[in-house]
Amino acid sequence: MSKKKPGVIGILTGGGDVPGLNPAIRAVTIRALREGYQVIGIRRGWAGLIDLVRDKNADNSNNYMVLTEEIVNRAGRTGGTFLHTSRTNPPKVKRENVPAHLRDKYTEERNDLTEEVLKNLDFLGVDYLIPIGGDDTLSYAVRLYQEGFKVVAIPKTMDNDVPGTDYCIGFSTCVTRTIALTNNLRTIGGSHERIMVLEVFGRYAGFTAMLPTMAGAANRCVIPEWKFNIDRLTELLVYDRNRNPSKYSIVLVSEGAMFEGGEMVFQDRTTDAYGHAKLGGIGDLVASEVQNRSAQYNNGVPINIINQKLGYLVRGGDPDAIDSIVPMAFGNLALDLILKGIHGRLVVLKNGRYDNVPLDVVTGTKKVVDVEQFYNTERYRPKYESFEMKPLFIMTSEL
């Protein structure tokens, strides 16, 4: 590809989609074009850099596209990612997923295609890569940087669990949607005098259950960081219901939450490219067990349950205000670094200020709820105390 001075920037989105990705792509592209760069959108995350065929006559339209202001302006206010996404993990590609044109070279059960990724980036003439993703997507960005490629990363995940930053693109919209959907279900809970069990995202971190509960959307929440006692949870929910004039109560259940003595609940034994089994079902189990136990805390009268998985409803649709503003700032921060010749960084929000940190923070630590500081383990709800000098979302600070 012919290269425009001062260079070519590649951008991709990996992992689960969230509202705010398209605004981030738009911010990067418009600023980069005005600074004289060419911008290439890599399609389907890391998959586009694996599947690409290094032949100028090959049809690689499914793997990348040259971005223009017209393209990004059209998508910039919408949810999802117009570049599409995948959970491809280049260092561990299964033999059956190796592209056809590479199968003679890579024949192991699991194959490291990093060499091909680097060659494909060179074929495209990419000088800097801006991956937007969660800790899985960005862990491979760390690998590319260690291989010598210039990377500036942007954090994205509705779980808000990328280390090093108080905020990840998608989190605010997730919390906003969770509150709105939960409030919509109140009329049903009250009409039928039921306990509502709502399962939300959150594999290892409970932020997406904690913040809506703190905002008043639910009475209780159970999170991956603390194994809960089902009898205690039932007792609390029955208590909440019976003291509510409308006779209902609500618990938000993180998908990674665990019973005392139990483990995470999975849909099946299959795993994604990063080794994660698909979670799902903890809400069903909690609902069943709460209903079975409810009578002993309700004068012998069982209480019916409303059991709902909010799931993809909280990651669909347009971004809210924060997920329209933060991606714009993150994109411009990434360009600021590139213009200064700085790479190997993650753009972040820390204590209300935009900044950047070393990229390898992504693989060096984990970001989860500080249970001692923020979670009441007896009452299964956030601690409503010590908010002074906390960041916007209270419990996302690592300080």
Residues assigned a catalytic role: 159
Which residues make beta-bridge pairs with 133? 155
Number of neighbouring beta carbons within 10 Å of residue 379: 12
Residue 257 contacts residue 223 (beta carbons within 8 Å): yes
Q: Which residue intervals of 52-199 are DSSP H helices? A: 69-75, 114-124, 135-146, 171-192
Dihedral sign, CA of 120, 146, 164, 87?
Answer: positive
Q: What DSSP string describes 314-375?
A: GT-S---SHHHHHHHHHHHHHHHHHHTT--SEEEEEETTEEEEEETTHHHH------HHHHE
Which residues make beta-bridge pairs with 168? none
Tokens for 291?
């209903």
- How far is Cα 307 from Cα 23, in angstroms, rounded to an integer? 34
> 3-state DSSP call for residue 201?
coil
Give me the count of residues in the chain: 399
Phi, psi of 251 (to 5 degrees): -125, 135
- How far is Cα 93 from Cα 311, in angstroms, rounded to an integer? 27
Reported as half-sphere exposure (CB side, CA atoms, 13 A), residue 157 has a value of 29
Number of neighbouring beta carbons within 10 Å of residue 165: 26
> 3-state DSSP call for residue 259?
strand
Q: What DSSP string describes 210-226?
A: HHHHHTTS-SEEE-TTS
The separation between CA 250 and the C-alpha centre of its own chain, rounded to angstroms, equals: 24
Residue among 116, 80, 73, 168 nearest 367 (CA): 168
